[in-house]
Chain A
Amino acid sequence: MNSRVILVNIFRWMVLLFVQIFLLRNMAFYNLSTPFIYVLFILVLPFHIPNFLLYLIAFITGLTLDSFYDTLGVHISACIALAFVRILFISVSLNREAIDEPEPSLGNMGFRWFSLYAVLCIFAHHIVLFFLEAFKFTSLTYTLGRTLLSVIFTLFTVLLVEFIFHNRKSA
């Protein structure tokens, strides 16, 4: 059981990062809206994962992304922020002892909970990412606009992927 979870997550990590690096990296709408589908991997990590391990995985994921994007540190910080919001949101919205689902996916948690969870996490990730990239507060509206548009795009892709997998499982 446990080794199956690890294998599934490793497989998911490879597929999502492959798609992100080789396909989505070249995709953007007028340089304003860029999808970062790889955050889905951190979103659907199992519930019972220790905090330290979660941060470590987020760090390594960010490091891998950074080496392909040539922006060492930017994605790392964004992923760490995402992990922090994930822990906060789960501890606020759910009773950690009474969780019987293995992981916070759309199929397990329902559309309302999952979409709110995804929006908050993705927003935290993107706001850190774009502000570190701009590194100043003078072009505030532009950076915020980029953040919001990218959140919408990323959320769309995340929900799309989750719907596809969800339907396959129940079928």
Chain B
Amino acid sequence: MRNLWIFLSRYNAFFFFIIFFTVGIILTIRNNVYQRSVTFSSTNEVVGTAYKRLNVVKRYLNLVQVNDSLAAENAALKTQLLAIASIDSTQITKVKDTINLQQYTLIAAKVFKNSVTLTNNIITINKGAKDGITKDMAVISPIKGIVGFVQNVSENFATIRPLLNQETAISVVLKKDNAFGSLVWGDDNFDYRKAYVKEIPNHYKVKVGDTIVTSGFGGFPKGIEVGKVTNTRVSTGDSFMTLEIALFNNFSTLQFVYVVKDKFAEEVKSLQPEVKNEQ
């Protein structure tokens, strides 16, 4: 013990250097946007490759559920197709430029890493800048429900900040009467099947069982079903209502996600000033 003390005090300059320098580097990475993004995307590349190997087994075990969900999605798409096919095309006289009007394109991606138990969960997917993914794109889940926003992008991988993260807020509306609210998770609630809709004005009549859909602001296409109201009496003390909702999608079994590429995202963004809280 005495020798250790002598050793430490003899080379104190070096140990102080290590301590202070580490503090300096940590401060640099935590507080500077550019340095942080470089660190995250390079570690992401390494971690992503490791998870890619691990995931082969996991994917095989989950094949049954994935097949079921794909079949369900197929059925839904076929229903839509039938609906379109039944429209009498001879009656439409106006020519619609469908190529330029298609605002949203979906990029399918596989989930590598997912968590639902932390206070700030992160999802890693196997598509990155190479596949046209950029920061802040919206991410939805295959059948029903939303996932979150793209947070960081590297060459082959990307991380998603899902709804299950304290920093995520998504603009939603009541399907019934278009009352705006903001969908959040966290505070005291760490159940991955529940979330809260805040800031709905008090004069709207909301019933248990009402459906919540996306508002169409901030990357998500309008009208994606998010969840069902389970409790309208969450007391907060301010002049807005807070609703508890049950989410339609299950984050714990998420295997595939769709990244939504918004054709007009850049254009819209260039018009609006930076808004940080509500994306």
Residue numbers of A with Cβ under 8 A of B are: 51-52, 55, 58-59, 62, 71-74, 76-78, 80-81, 83-84, 87-88, 91, 132, 135-136
Contact = CB atoms under 8 A, between A and B. Distances in A.
B27 A72 contact: yes
A55 B35 contact: no
Given A73-B26, A76-B23, A135-B38, A84 B31 contact: no
The dominant DSSP class at the A interface is: helix
B217 interface: no
Given A76-B23, A81-B21, A136-B38, A87 B28 contact: no
Given A52-B12, A72-B28, A135 B23 contact: no
Contact of A77 (B16, B25, B34): B25
A21 B38 CA distance: 28
B16 A76 contact: no
A57 to B, nearest CB: 11
Interface string B52-70: 0000000000000000000
B29 interface: yes
Nearest to B28: A73
Contact of A135 (B12, B14, B30, B34): B34
Given A72-B27, A73-B25, A51 B32 contact: no
**Interface size classification for chain B:** 20 to 34
Contacts of A51: 12-13, 16
Nearest to B20: A80
Nearest to B38: A135
Interface in B218-257: none
A84 B23 CA distance: 15
A91 B35 CA distance: 34
B26 A88 contact: no
Contact of B20 (A55, A71, A132): A55
A71 B27 CA distance: 9
21 contacts: A51-B13, A51-B16, A52-B16, A55-B17, A55-B20, A58-B20, A71-B28, A72-B28, A73-B24, A73-B25, A73-B28, A73-B31, A74-B24, A76-B28, A81-B17, A83-B17, A83-B20, A84-B13, A84-B14, A87-B13, A132-B25
Nearest to A80: B20
A52 B20 CA distance: 10
